[in-house]
Amino acid sequence: MSLIEDLKNQLQRVQADGAAALHAAEMNIGAFVDHMKQHTLQYPEPVFAVLRQVKPIIIFKNIAIVTRFADVQEVLSRDDVFHVTYGEKMRVITGGNDFFLGMQNSAAYERDVANMRSVMRRDDVPKHIVPFVAKTAEECVAAAADGKLDVATHLGRAVPAKWVSSYFGCVPPSEQDLVDWGTTIFQFLFTDLKNDPPIGAAARAAAKKACNWLDESIAQRKANPGNTADDVLGRCLKLQAAGLPGMDDLGIRNNLIGLITGAIPTTAKCCAQSLDELLKRPAELAKAQEAARAGDDALFARYVFEALRFNPNNPGVFRIAADDYVVARDSTHATLIPKGTNVLAATQSAMFDERFVDSPNEFRVDRPEYAAMLWGYGLHTCFGQFINRVQIPGILKPLLCRTNLRRAAGEAGQLGYAGPFPTRLSVEFDVTAGATSSAG
C-alpha cells in the first residue's frame, strides 16, 4: 500500500469517527435540551425571578405571563375580564354541561357552589375528615413493615382515594380505577395546553367510565331509600327531594365528577412535592418531625406548606382576556393585554416576589397566610382548600413521626414524574415498636 493510500484510509476513518462523534453530540444536546425543558416546567422559579426583575409582564406568542404578586392578584380578582379557560373541556368530560370550576360568575355558578358547599360542610373537616385521614394514613405507613414506602403511589394517592370513596358515598370498582380516572381527566382539563390527541382520547374514555359509575351509584342509592348514610351523595339526594334547582341526577353527577377529579391527583402531588422539599432540608425536616411527634398540628402544617411553596401544585393558573385590559396600570411596567390573549397568572412566582414576601428564598414558617397563593385567588380559589389544609399534613404526619426518615438509595429516592404528576418518591425509615404517629 502506498503512503498516499494509507493517508487516504486514515482520513476516511477520521471522517467516519467524526461523523459518529457529531451524531452522538447532537443526540446528547437534544436530550439535554429536552431535560432542560422538563426541568424548567417543573422548577420555573429561576425563570420567574428574572422576569420579575426585567419584564414582570411578558407577552409571547399570544401568552401573557404575569409574575409579580400584586399583578397576579389583579388578574385573578378581575374575573369579569380574565375568564377561566376550562369550560369547553369540562363539557367534553360531562357530555354537555359545565362543572362550576369552568363557569364565569353567574347565577348558575353561585347556585352550584352553594349547593355543593351545603353538602361538603366545613364542620365535616374536624368531625370526619381529620380522623379518617389520620387513621388511613397511619395504616398505609404501618403496612410498610420493611420500612420502605413509595410516597407518591402508596400514600399520597391511596389515602385520598379511600377518603373520597367513603366521604362521597360512591364506591368505585377499585381505588386504582378512581386514581386513574381522576388523574387522566385532570391532565386533560388543566395541563394539556397543546390539546394532545392521545391525552384527549384517554380522558374521554376515562370520563365515560367515571360517568357511568356515578350514574349507577346515584341510581342504586335512589333505588334503596333505606340507605340513609350521611355522605355527600346522600345529602345531594336530599336536596334533590326538596326540589332545589341544579340537583337533578345529571347535575349531581357532573358536580361529583368535577370534585372527585380535583381531589386525588392534586393531593398526591402536593404530598410528594412537599416531602421532597423537606428531604432537601435536613434541619427543617427534623423540626417538622419534632412538631409531628409532639402533636402540634398547626406548626407541622406550616412546615408542610412552606415546603410546598418551593414546589407547589402548579406554577400558576390560566385565564383568557375577554377584553383589552391594562394590568399594573399605575406602574412603570403597565402592560396592555389584548382581548383573546391567554394569561398565566404565575402564583408560584407571586409567592417569591420580594416586593411583597419577606426574604422569599428563605424557608420560614412564620409567614402570614395572605402571602401564600397555594390555593389560587379570587372567584376560583380552590373549592377544597379547607380540606386540603388538614388533609395534606394529615397524610404526611404518620410518616414524619417515623425514626430516621430518609430517601431510598438511587433513582427510587428521587422525585419522578410521568407528565405533570409524581410517580415515584421512595423513602425508608427505621421500624421500631415506638415509631407510631402522635394522637394529637
Q: Are 354 and 49 in contact (CB under 8 A)?
A: no
Q: What percent of the chain has pLDDT over 90?
A: 76
Q: Are 284 and 250 in contact (CB under 8 A)?
A: no
Residues across the chain: 440
CATH of segment(s) 44-430: 1.10.630.10
Q: Within its chain, how far is the Cα of 344 from the centroid?
A: 16
Cα dist. 416→146, 370, 422, 431 in Å? 22, 31, 6, 25
Predicted confidence (pLDDT) at residue 307 exceeds the cutoff of 70: yes
Q: Is 275 helix (H, G, I), strand (E, B) or coil?
A: helix
Cα dist. 264→40, 153, 159, 178, 291 in Å? 25, 11, 9, 8, 26
Predicted confidence (pLDDT) at residue 76 exceeds the cutoff of 60: yes
Question: Vertex 73, ends 299 and 76: CA angle to 5°?
Answer: 110
Cα dist. 413→280, 287, 403, 416 in Å? 12, 21, 17, 9
Grid cell locating 133: 385521614
Cα(185)–Cα(191) distance, integer angstroms? 10
Predicted confidence (pLDDT) at residue 386 exceeds the cutoff of 50: yes
Q: What pLDDT, on a 0 to 100 scale, did the predictor assign at position 225?
A: 85
Cα(41)–Cα(315) distance, integer angstroms? 8
Strand residue runs (E) in 239-324: 317-321
Query: Among 226-230, 248-252, 333-337, 402-406, which is the least confidently predicted range?
Result: 226-230
Average pLDDT, the chain: 89
Q: Letter for the amino acid at 363? A: F
Q: Are 431 and 292 in contact (CB under 8 A)?
A: no
pLDDT band at 420 (very low <50, low <70, confident <90, very high): confident
pTM, two decimals, is 0.88
* Residues contacting residue 255 through CB under 8 Å, at least 6 positions apart: 99, 100, 112, 115, 116, 236
Cα(139)–Cα(133) distance, integer angstroms? 10
Q: What is the pLDDT of residues 243-274, one digit of tens each?
A: 999 999 999 999 999 998 888 899 999 999 99
Predicted confidence (pLDDT) at residue 28 exceeds the cutoff of 50: no
pLDDT band at 9 (very low <50, low <70, confident <90, very high): low
Which has the closest alpha carbon to 322: 103, 88, 83?
A: 83
Predicted confidence (pLDDT) at residue 7 exceeds the cutoff of 50: no
Domain ranges of the chain: 44-430
* C-alpha neighbours within 13 Å on the C-beta side of residue 268: 35
Q: What pLDDT, on a 0 to 100 scale, did the predictor assign at position 27?
A: 45
Q: What is the pLDDT of residues 214-223, one digit of tens each?
A: 999 999 999 9
If you average pLDDT over residues 212-233, what whole number do you get?
93
pLDDT band at 439 (very low <50, low <70, confident <90, very high): very low
Q: What pLDDT, on a 0 to 100 scale, did the predictor assign at position 194?
A: 85
Q: What is the pLDDT of residues 156-212, one digit of tens each?
A: 999 999 999 999 999 999 999 999 999 999 999 988 888 899 999 999 999 999 999
**Count of helix runs (H) and strand runs (E) in the chain:** 18, 12
Cα(262)–Cα(248) distance, integer angstroms? 22
Cα(159)–Cα(237) distance, integer angstroms? 26
Cα dist. 433→34, 142, 289 in Å? 46, 11, 17
Q: Within its chain, how far is the Cα of 397 from the centroid?
A: 19
Other beta carbons less than 10 A from residue 197's beta carbon: 9
Which spans in 86-174 are helix H?
A: 87-94, 107-119, 124, 130-142, 151-154, 158-168
pLDDT band at 434 (very low <50, low <70, confident <90, very high): very low
* Residues contacting residue 100 through CB under 8 Å, at least 6 positions apart: 108, 109, 112, 113, 116, 255, 258
